[in-house]
Structure 1
Amino acid sequence: MTLSEARVEEGKTALAERKIVAPPKNVLFATDFSPTSESALPYATAICRRFGSTLHVTHVLSDTSLLAMTGGVDYVSMGTIYESALQEAQEKIEHMALRFEGIPHHTHVRHGLIWQNLSEIIAEKEVDLIVVGTHGRTGLGKLLLGSVAEDILRHAPCPVLTVGPKVSGRAKLPAFPATGRDLAPIELEVRQILFATNFAHNAPAVARAAVSLAGAFHARLTLLHVFEDYTHLGSQPDLIEQGVRRLHELLPNDVALQYPPETVLEFGPAAERILRVASAREVDLVVLGARTAASAGSTHLPWTTDHQVIAQAHCPVLTVRE
């Protein structure tokens, strides 16, 4: 149940356009050409149109997938299948590029370890946003092969926008037609943003990203903290006041938004409460702080929470790491 909901002071209603986090210059869209990954493509193109970003569409041919095609280790067959798979991938990615009229873009088809290739492109092209789709059937799910999507979230040096299988309603962008170019550019409309935090050490940086997006889209912003352990609430009634205060303190002092941000405290399982608030407020974007590969003992939202939110959310989820 919700025990506290408070509005931040009404004075923060001007200067909505002030930028505290730069818009992305280079967006990487990782695809395996499946319907799952294709569902994230409209978000990548819409972001690039809105911010004037360059789009990098990337597909990686892994040895594991090629071995699966051969049915075993047959090096003659491997070479033949590799050439065929490479040609097919290049044709698909070139056909995909026909939809990017007016968007600066580059296509990349690589061979080898998936995350290694993606990380090289991220570094080479100075990528500052990654867009991926996931089916969410096993936790976060498998985007390309194995735990590639989780590798991206754990290791990516930039924010990651994940489009899960249950994105629907106003937050769901229409798919591109199977053939031909899109008749009208798809626009990304964000009216409600939910930032959920458990006050990890990089929470201020994640909050700045959420505030910046709220300003850029003239959206309403909700800051949420979930108390999963509230057994001490009776003996420490000031926990509610402390939670609201800490949420307020995450807001940058020098930036104001068109709409006063709201703070919400919830009690219970984190993922369940985040999803409940997101649904009730019909949010268009959830912003979370992501754990790094080396922060297993940190206070970031645990991977199980990230997985559940991404897999169940009716809107895209933006994860931001330090």
Structure 2
Amino acid sequence: MFDTILVPIDDSPGSERAFEAAVTLAKQYGSAVHVLSVVDEHGPRTDEWDRDGDSPAAAFVDEHADAVSADGIDVTPAVREGVVHEEILDYADESGVDLVVMGTHGRTGVRRYLLGSVTEKVVRLSDVPVLSVKADAEAGEVSFDDILLPTDGSSGAEAAIEPTAALASTTDATVHVLSAVDTRSLGIDVGSSVIIDELESVADDAVATASDRLYEDGVDAVKTAVAHGIPYQVILQAIDDNDVDLVVIGTHGRTGIDRYLLGSVTEKIVRTAPVPVLTVRSPDAGDEA
């Protein structure tokens, strides 16, 4: 599933945690790893920068690449200059990567470091899955024993099923399939009760479809739930209740579609979830920025 992994790095804690996660996944899947540093063309410039020479950026990338190579992993170091998120996306496309692993500052709100300010852009625009790892994640190798798969039955949600199955079948993880029924805009009347029943039916169908697909793809342990509430809060609560190690969630990407709940809450989950989040872009998303 993840034959080639791209991990953009800077010297932030989130970047280091992302690097560790990328190495762990590479060991599990026998993946090749590309370690990339992007020098922001709009950032401060010094005479030390030399794209073809022994620049600080190149030395930093080589140090990390050597660590990956020492583990017997095929590794490619790279340094680029430009608009950071655009260079990451272009590199991913040119190199045919299957997964991008990036650090994010999450709840800390720290904006000092480069990658913390561009991860959400990459999440929204990437054609391949993006694993976002928090700066305050525990150092060391990561493990995914309990995976949360939120679903609303949309194409974005369905796109997240296959990567979830690939991860769970490799790690023997339990997958928790969750659908949230958002009733905030409904009043208390007979009509609302009918609409709630319909929303619950849609949620039940979404959960059943996802769980059936997971079983078909070789996942042995699947738990399902339908909960009422604000979707992103329901997801955060499920993370806490089930000791979840990873959230896999769909995104509509460039289209900006808000029809389905996942299109409107994925970025909130990336910013606020206390665990890594794997975002998967819907295959039918458009190309509008």
Report TM bin, short chain. Answer: 0.7 to 0.9
Shift of 1:194: 0.5
RMSD of Structure 2 on Structure 1 (CA): 2.6
Greater shift, 262-271 or 279-288, is seen at 262-271
- What secondary structure sits across from 1:279 in the alignment? helix
Once the two structures are superposed, residues 34-54 of structure 1 have per-residue CA deviations (whole angstroms, 9 ceiling, x without a partner) of 222112111000000110001
User: Match of 1:194?
Assistant: 148
Shift of 1:200: 1.9
User: Match of 1:234?
Assistant: 193
What aligned pairs does 1:59-138 form with structure 2 within 5 A after superposition? 59-67=37-45, 78=46, 80-83=47-50, 87-100=55-68, 101=70, 102-137=72-107
Larger fraction in helix? 2
- Would the aligned equivalents of 1:66 and 1:81 in 2 still touch at CA under 8 Å? no
Once the two structures are superposed, residues 229-269 of structure 1 have per-residue CA deviations (whole angstroms, 9 ceiling, x without a partner) of 2636633463434422331123327334222x121111112
Q: Give 1:59's aligned amino acid.
A: S
Shift of 1:201: 2.3
Shift of 1:147: 4.5
What aligned pairs does 1:112-191 form with structure 2 within 5 A after superposition? 112-137=82-107, 144=114, 147-167=117-137, 172-174=138-140, 186=141, 188-191=142-145
- Would the aligned equivalents of 2:231 and 2:261 in 1 still touch at CA under 8 Å? no
- Would the aligned equivalents of 1:200 and 1:298 in 2 still touch at CA under 8 Å? no
Greater shift, 188-197 or 224-233, is seen at 224-233
Q: Give 2:216's aligned amino acid.
A: D
Match of 2:225 among 264, 267, 275: 264
- What secondary structure sits across from 1:98 in the alignment? helix
- What secondary structure sits across from 2:35 in the alignment? strand
- What secondary structure sits across from 1:293 in the alignment? helix
Shift of 1:271: 1.4
Check 1:61–1:311 CA distance in 2 against 1; reply closer, same or farther (3 A cut): same
TM-score (norm 1): 0.76
Once the two structures are superposed, residues 73-92 of structure 1 have per-residue CA deviations (whole angstroms, 9 ceiling, x without a partner) of xxxxx5x2434997111111
Instruction: Report whether the alignment pairs 1:217 with 2:190.
Output: no
CA distance in 1, matches of 2:131, 2:156: 18
Once the two structures are superposed, residues 111-156 of structure 1 have per-residue CA deviations (whole angstroms, 9 ceiling, x without a partner) of 1222332222212210010000111258897862684212211111
User: Larger C-alpha radius of gyration, 1 or 2?
Assistant: 1
- What secondary structure sits across from 2:55 in the alignment? helix
Check 1:146–1:293 CA distance in 2 against 1; reply closer, same or farther (3 A cut): farther
> Where does structure 1 lack aligned partners over 5 or more consecutive residues?
1-22, 68-77, 175-185
> Where does structure 2 lack aligned partners over 5 or more consecutive residues?
283-289
Instruction: Report whether the alignment pairs 1:276 with 2:237.
Output: yes
Shift of 1:219: 1.1
CA distance in 2, matches of 1:24, 1:315: 20
TM-score (norm 2): 0.84
- Would the aligned equivalents of 1:194 and 1:223 in 2 still touch at CA under 8 Å? yes
Name the % identity.
Answer: 26
CA distance in 2, matches of 1:141, 1:217: 34
User: Match of 2:285?
Assistant: none
- How many residues are treated as equivalent by the alignment? 271
- Would the aligned equivalents of 1:133 and 1:143 in 2 still touch at CA under 8 Å? no
Shift of 1:310: 2.2
Shift of 1:59: 0.6
Q: Give 1:314's aligned amino acid.
A: P
- Would the aligned equivalents of 1:143 and 1:149 in 2 still touch at CA under 8 Å? no
